[in-house]
Amino acid sequence: MPITKLDQIVEAVKSRPRKRLIAAFANDAHTIEAVSKAIELGIVEATLVGDTNQIERICKEHGFDAGKFNIIHETDETKAATKSVALINNGEGNLLMKGLLSTDKYMRAILNKETGLMNPGATLSHVTVIENKAYSKLLICGDVAIIPLPDLKQKIAIANYLIDTAYALGIELPKLAMIAASEQMLSVMPACVDAAIISKMAERGQLKKALVDGPLALDTAIDKESAEIKKLTSPVAGDADCLLFPNIESGNVFYKTCTKLCGSELGAFVAGARVPAILSSRGDSSLTKMYSIALSALVSKQ
């Protein structure tokens, strides 16, 4: 059966061998709490790279057992990110997680051509899995955080990452909607043109196996009544598993609307590196970070 709730991801990974998580500059309570909970649930073992004194102080203040973690001392956030990536490359970890360091320093460590985690030609993209109470299943979305204006090649990579994530969630034939401002094929809108090309590529077997349709406006992608009113006959319309947004503005606004106005919860990771990389915001809750750890463990192939 497909996974339809975030807590089901946690249950699914409990029965698998534990992954080793490396948390870069884990000097904040939310990160430590999330990792601690993931350890308690049997999802991961963990190495925290950061200021030992700060980490131990936080553990003492919040009642976390510092003995759960392997702690590597590093007070500089840039060096902590570099050390964390090196641990992954040395085979000492399967998952990477951002702690209390800026996103640009975290990403630079991953993207470094000599010491990073990228294979030649790979595309990094952020995959978000959202549990919205108004929808009957999880929504797998991209890209909401990394690629500002994906070109056709990048959209193809994003589509395959979304489909792979759907497979990991137990969806045998994912339904992917290429989102645009309209479901009509309007040649003046690049989002519509790219959506039509990728839909045809999927039809001809040039993507990973999935049902792909587009362009689709958001309402026709996730609301069956809207699709019926607009007389759309499509296996994707009104029942999408995956949403591929045409740009970061539309994706980011959608995800923040879900979380801030609709009370949605999520898990997320960066795909395209040699291991899943968790890129939670420094302001994300420990629950969001824990779900992101569980999702990353689910999709990890190492």
What is the per-residue DSSP string for 77-111? Answer: HHHHHHHHHHHHHTTS-SEEEE-SS-HHHHHHHHH
Distance CA 24, CA 165 (A): 24
The domains of the chain, with CATH numbers, are 6-121+273-299 (3.40.50.10950), 125-261 (3.40.718.10)
CA atoms within 13 A on the CB side of 178: 30
Tell how many helices (H) and how many strands (E) occur in the chain: 11, 11
Beta bridge partners of 242: 140, 176
pLDDT tens digits, one per residue of 67-109: 999 999 999 999 999 999 999 999 999 999 999 999 999 999 9
pLDDT tens digits, one per residue of 11-23: 999 989 999 999 9
pLDDT at 282: 64
Which DSSP string corresponds to 38-81? HHHTTSEEEEEEE-HHHHHHHHHHHT--GGGSEEEE---HHHHH
pLDDT tens digits, one per residue of 251-262: 999 999 999 999
Tokens representing residue 168 in the block: 């990991």
Distance CA 176, CA 162 (A): 8
Give 301's pLDDT tier (boundaries 50, 70, 90): confident
What does pLDDT average to over the chain? 95
| Average pLDDT value for residue range 267-289 | 89
pTM of the model: 0.95
Distance CA 40, CA 293 (A): 13
